[in-house]
Structure 1
């Protein structure tokens, strides 16, 4: 008989329903996007379960959990995916006020701490500075025939130029993180486009096609279609600087 046990150091929330909900939530999260199982539980998880029946308590607990996830070093994409699993586990509609409070808690905490990585917290992908540095390293290390700069651009299905919302950006980041998990690649999001710097392999093209398919299927990105383009890295320094310049358009 298999059992889904909680770490003995954890304090389980009171009540049989809360214990069952905690197990369902944790199980869904681990199957979706949570990367370090032993770091999932925090005291703020129990606070959220205790305050689930009161909207004000739920929002405040969500804010505290968002802040706690940030302190753990969990990116907003992974953290928000986990929080959405809570509503699925509880068999209830997503509470947009609680979602907003969760993100506000995460962002407020992020503003208080020193950046500890080269990761853009809104997408889980690389920052522009880190991507540019990696592009230079790729140019120095690899023959241009071995590496590609690929782009996946979102194009609105109707006339609109509004930037993507934070939920759409997070969904886009999750799609690319999953598709490129097993590839040697660096990814960055900028202006409706995801830039992919990678070694030229069949896995790269497979991942690009998978991203296009997932964008098409995504509920959050249903207002967009996507196009893919690839180009070899330039061998001359002048061409390299032109590539960097294009990232800022």
Structure 2
């Protein structure tokens, strides 16, 4: 399946188009994992579906890849990993059964569009330190890192260890088999539940396409609130037919490490879990 020129489209009914989209997405995913994509749960961002739709419609692929590059940077994927994913896409477009992508075969126009967009977003994240993520209404990972730094500085000044007082409550949802709007809706529902349950000044942040976290004090009914969070998310998923088959969230409590550097590394790890 070669990359189509703008204006060239597949002919067929809606069912046929849906099948093409699903097949392309599945082949691309397999090839990307074979190329070394490290975290399966964060591969299927909405921009993946945008790229697939662009290919099937024969529209402007570099423009869609720009959106994908920015999304990859925002979710923490490195440039090497992002370009390997692009090579996987190109490989299956050229040869549907390809499983071993060749990065050197990707056209320069596609490489340029993806790399420049990735760099744009990566540099933008350096200056966006206190923003709110629009979809979920939760804080960005950058803001959570700022709050963690404040907690450790307060601990040094007051003579207490944040590891003894604070934890990260992590909420992870398996969205690896969910695509498009339902995937977005799932995280929006997670954000709604977290704001409802943790309404006492805790820091709530989205860390990745399927992971959110709460910086909270130990005790204060934390176990009960974690259980309520799990129950409410499962109930709200159950109401939506597109999410009904999605498993309930994985909720766990991570104690903060002794050092701020280790705590920041923990945030990075959780964002890619």
Normalised by the shorter chain, which TM-score bucket?
0.3 to 0.5
More helix by share: 2
TM-score by length of 2: 0.43
TM-score by length of 1: 0.47
RCO (CA 8 Å, sep 6+): is it higher in 1 or 2? 2
